[in-house]
Amino acid sequence: MNKQVVQNFGHETSLLRRKNVLVTGASGFIGSELIRQLETSGYRVTQASRNTRPGRLPVLQLPSFDDPLTAFEDLLEDVDHVVHLAAIHHASASVSAEEYHAANCMLTARLAQAADKMISGKLVFTSSIRAQCGGVFDGVICENDPPHPTDDYGRAKLAAEAEIAAAMPRRNYTILRPVLVYGPAATGNLAKLARLAALPVPLPLKSLPGRRSLLDRAALCAAIIHCLQEPKTDGEVFIVADQRSLTLGEMISAMRRGMGHRPMLFSLPDHVLDLVAQITAQNDRKQRLYRDLVASSSKLQSTGWVAVEDPIRQIESLQRGK
């Protein structure tokens, strides 16, 4: 190996070492998979969390939104890229508007202000589809549709997006709006759905028409890494979703097949479902099951990211892997 080749190899290795990604919320559902993919892609990872716990990698304390900006600048010392996952996740009546705004907007704003001064690479922020719309939407939602969040969670996420754009005039950021994310050890509504699917009883879900866009966790993490590397994503907002939407019946059927069971779904007449919804005071939930939340990720796909084509196969595979 000649001297020039050795020098070039050393230079490339040095560049690789400098690709240090700070991941906030790295211990969470998305963060654990993202760390695995980042390391596989050759990045170094630095973790930061609001609640530090011992782990495989050292975890730094994420400053509070009311800490001085210098605390965030110190956190970003020797960092090239930032992926901001930390947040109060999901809409909940037990969380106040002020709490959402502090954790999901103001903390993000401080991190973006520091990133503008400190990093040479990108900041990727995981917002939410709820920054753009409520729990249902007529038609197929895309980034050109005016955002109309319907709850404090969504409003805080949308406000955080605006803070990032204002703080980072070099446009070295990307904002992602993922739909509902599924994967191993998913929490929230998907965990409840898996428990329902595991019950050895027929379920009256076959005729429910509402369709939902879902997002594979590994595909979301691949989208984050894609945005760190692809200049076409600079300063842009992208919806992230699998290509195909599913009904609730299709989700349950896929889970049950993955568990090795038959789907065992049947239909009930609408007037019976209406009566059940009235008796159980679930009219709002019934309306959500009858209406759609279908989102298009074609804008992100046009930059080179590859979306999951068939989530049914992914869901079946997840259940078989348990």
Q: Which of these, 227, 245, 226, lies nearest to 180 by C-alpha position?
A: 245
Between helix 311-320 and helix 248-258 the angle, nearest 10°, is 40
Mean pLDDT of the chain: 89
pTM to 2 decimals? 0.89
Q: pLDDT at residue 294 above 90?
A: yes
Q: Which amino acid is at 100?
A: Y
Residue 268 pLDDT level (bands cut at 50, 70, 90): confident
Predicted local confidence at residue 1, as pLDDT: 43
Other CB atoms closer than 10 Å to residue 175's CB: what's the count? 25
Chain centre to alpha carbon of residue 238: 11
Rounded mean pLDDT, 213-227: 98
Query: Could you give phi then psi for residue 286, rounded to 5 degrees?
Result: -60, -40
**7 pLDDT exceeds 70?**
no
The pLDDT of 164-186, averaged and rounded, is 96
| Contact partners, residue 27, CB within 8 Å, separation at least 6 | 47, 49, 53, 55, 59
User: What span, in angstroms and rounded, lies between the C-alpha atoms of 124 and 234?
Assistant: 9
Using 50, 70 and 90 to split pLDDT, how confident is the model at 277? low
In this structure, how many other beta carbons lie within 10 angstroms of the beta carbon of residue 186? Answer: 17
- Phi/psi of residue 62, nearest 5 degrees: -80, 125
Domain ranges of the chain: 3-182+216-241+296-307
Q: What superfamily in CATH does domain 3-182+216-241+296-307 come from?
A: NAD(P)-binding Rossmann-like Domain (3.40.50.720)
Please count the CA atoms within 13 angstroms of the CA of 211 that sit on its side-chain side. 14
What residues are paired with 125 via a beta bridge? 84, 175
Is residue 271 pLDDT above 70, yes or no? Answer: no
pLDDT at 18: 54
> Please, are residues 245 and 258 in contact by the beta-carbon 8 Å criterion?
no
Question: What pLDDT, in 10s, does the model give residues 99-153?
Answer: 999 999 999 999 999 999 999 999 999 999 999 999 999 999 999 999 999 999 9
Taken in order 95, 98, 104, 110, the sign of the CA dihedral is negative
Only one residue has tokens 């691949």, namely 222
Q: What is the CA radius of gyration of the chain?
A: 21
**Would the pLDDT of 30 be above 50?**
yes
Strand order in the sheet with 173-178: 59-61, 44-49, 20-24, 81-84, 123-126, 173-178, 236-240
**Residue 8 Cα to chain centre, angstroms:** 38
How many angstroms from the chain centroid is the CA of residue 84?
11
Residue 57 scores a pLDDT above 60: no
Angle between helices 283-290 and 270-279 (to 10 degrees): 150
Would the pLDDT of 9 be above 50?
no
Percent pLDDT > 90 in the chain is 74
